[in-house]
Structure 1
């Protein structure tokens, strides 16, 4: 893989005036994009910022190259490659924003993969020794902290999880969890004086076809196909989630909280939930989606089991046709849907809600209206030509 620098970026030359230098690992993901946008805002705390972006694949055409001083492609599972690619910037980086992950069904595999990636990046940066400026690492995780490995075929069906609302002080569950492993790695492996913060998101909303957990994109693709084929846009979940509360995390809020924690002394070495601060029902969300995608609202028929994942599995050619006709960014259906995860989430039998009290008590009071966020990110994905 090659290191690419944006030749048309106004910030592409090194900036000696940068107070802080960010390394966004997972820059082309939902929160990676929001972080890059936020760090380029002149009023952002800790700035002016110089921003490096890292991802496994080359920079896509929908990502504005002007947001990054340099984009670096590397496989963080490869220690030698990670050191080689990061050593030229290791002496500059002050803040790491870790919003990358790899997911497999087996949680023990997730622990191995994600721990290796984080360990390799941290090792590459501290290899600068006395020249290292590294001061803080932000780690993004999520509510599996409180639920356990819900997608694991062995553990997922027999989990005993915490009662919501989820709070940061809840003890760890007795199951393998790569979130725990990453937290432990930061607590034990960072050099003296380097702090960290942990940010536990809810269901994330953002704009990228490069996240296997972009639930809003999954629903947008599903609604688009239903409208194109004249099919009913039916809820893929159960009556409980149709009627009970859930929460989400706008990727802009996650970016704001992570930057706040990385630049606020009292927030160091802490874990924070990060959700929008409001709640919604499946029914309420469905009404908003029906409006945005011009499909008829279909009330839940709890007596009739509906498998949206099975229906969508045969729609690859249909999505190809939509992409071609609408001139969209080239994606395959399997790249822009996470129906397996969506099926699990929409069939919960508990209210998936997080407490934001600790975050507020420490001084972060940001919030987003979830339905306004849904409208914003659908519009953003349309601008980016990810959906029609």
Structure 2
């Protein structure tokens, strides 16, 4: 992969905002790898809460900082000591609110506060590039906003491509893109639009993999059939996903590659799968019988999982897992939306390849690896 000649050893300092999420952990691991583009890197990782006990030792960041990006005062206090050292900002943070308008407000304030501190003294600021984590909601609109749920949101025909026009709905991804693309900045930027992210964390919103793992674990614990809660359409049609390691590599590639700057890129594994094939893999991983989809037996798993919090507590206790609350690590309603799409949920990665990024992963093998990581971290049994 082509990269800039401006980079020299020991000059690159990364600030990962959201380091305890799926993308953040993989970014920390990738940046500290001896093979990292632009390395060696000094890595600062930040999160709202303190570093969790399950945070993997493989993510050997140099400094962990806890602060509230919604508060400019806290952001200023915690980031000022490093603000004139950071050369690359990796933005993988997100806060989720009840409505998309609230998402726009909260996430915009967080990004603006951090950028304000890092650029507080333009003459001495070393910030050269900002990578912005985004997602396919960019193409579908605020699909998780209950106030808009009754509306049939329009979207471009898949596969989704980066030059698709913005939709006439509120979307916090649009707001964040506008913030980093604003004229007058001394830094360049890149936008990274992931599909369903596969990674290992207990602190990620919309964590589809952990949600499926918790469901499978409860089915096993209570001797319930491992039934597919989606539709026949999604069972049979194509979907794609994004391995957090591929996503991390794309972030780093864009951060140090001149040709890649000021662009948006889809990021997927480069393959597709059906939920039928995924269900077979999950059933095997968790030692459950594969149950073929029966359309007449509709399963409302959102309703089914209500009240299962105590069951998850039993599972955590029985297997000696890190203490987590089911409602904090799962996203059954959001996952239910994905499993009821009436279109093939796939993105084109042609642009990313044309610009020089060729990262890929085998999605079904990726799932097995990440479940193993989640088990090693004692997040799931």
Q: Does TM, scored on the shorter chain, surpass 0.5?
A: yes
Contact 2:56 2:377 in 1 (8 A): no
Matched with 1:334 is 327
State the Cα deviation string for residues 288-311 of structure 1 (Å, max 9, x = none): 000000011111111122111111
Question: Any residues of structure 2 matched to 1:75-154 within 5 Å, and which?
Answer: 75-154=68-147
Contact 1:164 1:353 in 2 (8 A): yes
C-alpha spacing 1:40/1:190, structure 2 compared with 1 (3 Å): farther
Question: Any residues of structure 2 matched to 1:1-388 within 5 Å, and which?
Answer: 18-64=10-56, 67-156=60-149, 157-188=151-182, 191-192=185-186, 194-388=187-381
Structure 2 residue matching 1:160: 3-state secondary structure: coil
Structure 1: gaps spanning 5 or more residues:
1-15
Contact 2:9 2:39 in 1 (8 A): no
**RMSD of aligned Cα (Å):** 1.2
Aligned-pair CA distance for 1:103: 1.1
* Distance (whole Å) between structure 2 residues aligned to residue 364 and residue 145 of structure 1: 21
Contact 1:87 1:128 in 2 (8 A): no
Q: TM-score, normalised by structure 1?
A: 0.94
Structure 1 residue matching 2:170: 3-state secondary structure: coil
- Residue-pair matches, total: 372
Show structure 1 runs of 4+ deviating over 4 A. Answer: none
State the Cα deviation string for residues 335-354 of structure 1 (Å, max 9, x = none): 22100101000000000000
Structure 2 residue matching 1:204: 3-state secondary structure: strand
* Distance (whole Å) between structure 2 residues aligned to residue 214 and residue 287 of structure 1: 20
Range with greater deviation from structure 2 (156-165 or 43-52): 156-165
Contact 2:216 2:226 in 1 (8 A): yes
Contact 2:309 2:325 in 1 (8 A): yes
Structure 2 residue matching 1:348: 3-state secondary structure: coil
State the Cα deviation string for residues 296-341 of structure 1 (Å, max 9, x = none): 1111111122111111112111111111111101101112210010
* Distance (whole Å) between structure 1 residues aligned to residue 62 and residue 118 of structure 2: 18
Which has the bigger relative contact order, CA under 8 A and spacing at least 6? 2
* Distance (whole Å) between structure 2 residues aligned to residue 280 and residue 210 of structure 1: 26
* Distance (whole Å) between structure 1 residues aligned to residue 315 and residue 140 of structure 2: 37
Contact 2:15 2:90 in 1 (8 A): yes
C-alpha spacing 1:293/1:267, structure 2 compared with 1 (3 Å): same
* Distance (whole Å) between structure 2 residues aligned to residue 172 and residue 72 of structure 1: 35
Structure 2: gaps spanning 5 or more residues:
1-7
